Amino acid sequence: MTNQKSPEGGDRPLAGLRIVEFASYVAGPSAGMTLAQLGADVIRIDPLGGAPDYRRHPVSRDTGESLYWTSLNRGKRSVEVDVRSERGRELALALATAPGAGGGLVVDNAVGRPWFSYEALAARRPDVIKVHIGGLPGGGPAVDYTVNTEVGVTDLTGAADNRTPVNHVLPAWDLLAGSTATTALLAALRRRDRTGSGSDLRIALADVALAGVANLGWFSEVRERGDRPRHGNFVYGTFGTDFATADDGRVMVVALTTRQWHALCAATGTAKVVAALAESLGADFTDEAARYEHRETIAAVMRPWFTARTLEAAGTALTEAGVLWSRYRRMSDVVSDFEAGAASPVLTGVDQPGIGPVISARSPIRDGDEYGTAATASALGADTGAVLSEVLGLSDAELLDLRKAGVLGSG
């Protein structure tokens, strides 16, 4: 099904790279997973018994194994060592700094592990590239759910008539931090190829969130105009909102461009009313800022069209008119699509050892318009012996000795 775990890998973009990942939760593991999908040999160092997220929800109903952990650790090899022991630490350091032009590449989120610092690694391999993902820039802890409240995104999310802030369920900053880490690692590798220099790179989750919001211009806006009011499901700065249909369906429509705006007016039969409205308000609705300013009035004018139609009828008319729209769906709707073969091929079924059939994903990066293959996750520690033998040249006798001493897991 896959060759992702092979250090070879033909002409895949990152063939020939060996990355050591020493991380848990979402950001670091998602970075390693992405690099594996692009063809790198990703070796994950797991402490004995697994990192704290090894059993994290969701878990398989039948086997109790974590659907979360096996999803985020697909395509990697797992080396399980006692990182509290000197000998285990020596193995982790040796793997991270083993020779080879494609080695010496590390992603970690270890906190309170001075023995695995950049300095400790660089002392063994001066051109090591280490990408450390942390919480706060000063080193303190933070997670997606805490940084999102601190940057004020939760304050803007939710219905306009409710003052309670609304948390994101999606760990968006974690996913973005993981992707930022892969970019950072590959950029530093290009520098190493050019200059021979290694890199000590650090990414704080809190900084990813602050920069992400600043990059949209939102902090500058707030300094000039004060806090933006909550909008519910309206899109900021243009016309976009949700409408309920006659059969309890719900659609999202967005008119970012003038063409999309005209299509929406035409589809909903509101062109004349909207034109009269524009005239009476002295507004030019071909300017998205005007559509935004009068969003509630516009929505009120269009709402009857939606409430008089089923989701299917409304959707057909919107599509025919060229409106940018979507359905509000539950995750079970996506699963139904998948079961019917109607989902994007980025989703694919794999048979995950320890669990059984799961809905997995290929890389969203199509290469020559082809999605890559989808891998499974190794069982915890399953590759310990093979990796230590292949990368560090350990003999069977040495492996046996380490196992007897409890330095290696039982995988």
Residue 361 bridge partners (DSSP): 347
Residues contacting residue 138 through CB under 8 Å, at least 6 positions apart: none
Only segment of 83-91, 203-211, 310-318, 393-401 that touches its own copies (CB under 8 A): 203-211
**Least distance in Å: CB of 313 to its own copies?**
19
Closest approach of Cβ 121 to its own copies, in Å? Answer: 14
Q: By three-state DSSP, how is residue 43 classified? A: strand
Which of 5/291 has CB closer to its own copies?
291
Q: Which stretch binds its own copies (CB under 8 A): 81-89, 235-243, 266-274, 296-304?
A: 235-243
Single residue of 365, 392, 400, 405 touching its own copies by CB under 8 A: 365
Q: Where are the alpha helices (DSSP H) in 38-104?
A: 67-72, 86-96
Phi, psi at 115, each rounded to 5°: -65, -20
Q: Looking at 3, 13, 277, 389, which residue binds its own copies (CB under 8 A)? A: 13
Q: Tell me the one-letter amino acid at 345.
A: P
Q: Does 324 bind its own copies (CB under 8 A)?
A: yes
**CA–CA distance, 31 with 25 (Å, rounded to integer):** 11
Residues 6+ apart with CB under 8 A from 398: none
**Of residues 73 and 384, the one with the C-beta less far from its own copies:** 73
Residue 92 CB, nearest distance to its own copies (Å)? 21
First-to-last alpha carbon distance for the chain, in angstroms, is 22
Q: Pick the catalytic residue: 41, 174, 207, 383?
A: 174
Whether 354 contacts 63, CB under 8 Å: yes
Say whether 242 is catalytic.
no
Residue whose entry in the numeric block shows the structure tokens 């398989």: 60
Task: Give the phi and the psi of residue 188 in degrees, each rounded to 5.
Answer: -65, -35
Q: Which of 226, 229, 282, 393 binds its own copies (CB under 8 A)?
A: 226
Among the listed residues 391, 388, 390, the one whose alpha carbon sits nearest the alpha carbon of residue 399: 388
Return d(Cα 353, Cα 338) in angstroms, integer. 21
| 300 makes contact with its own copies (CB under 8 A) | no
**Residue 2 binds its own copies, judged by CB under 8 A:** no
Tokens for 292? 């935004």
Total site size for its own copies, rule CB under 8 A: 153
Nearest distance from C-beta of residue 404 to its own copies, angstroms: 29
Q: How far is the CB of 384 from its own copies (least distance, A)?
A: 24
Q: Which of residues 143-202 bind its own copies (CB under 8 A)?
A: 143, 145-147, 149-159, 162, 164-172, 175-176, 179-180, 182-184, 186-191, 193-195, 197, 199-202
**Which of 37/384 has CB closer to its own copies?**
37
Residues 52 to 71: which contact its own copies by CB under 8 A? 52-53, 55-62, 66-71
CB-CB neighbours of 255 under 10 Å: 24
Positions annotated as catalytic residues are 174
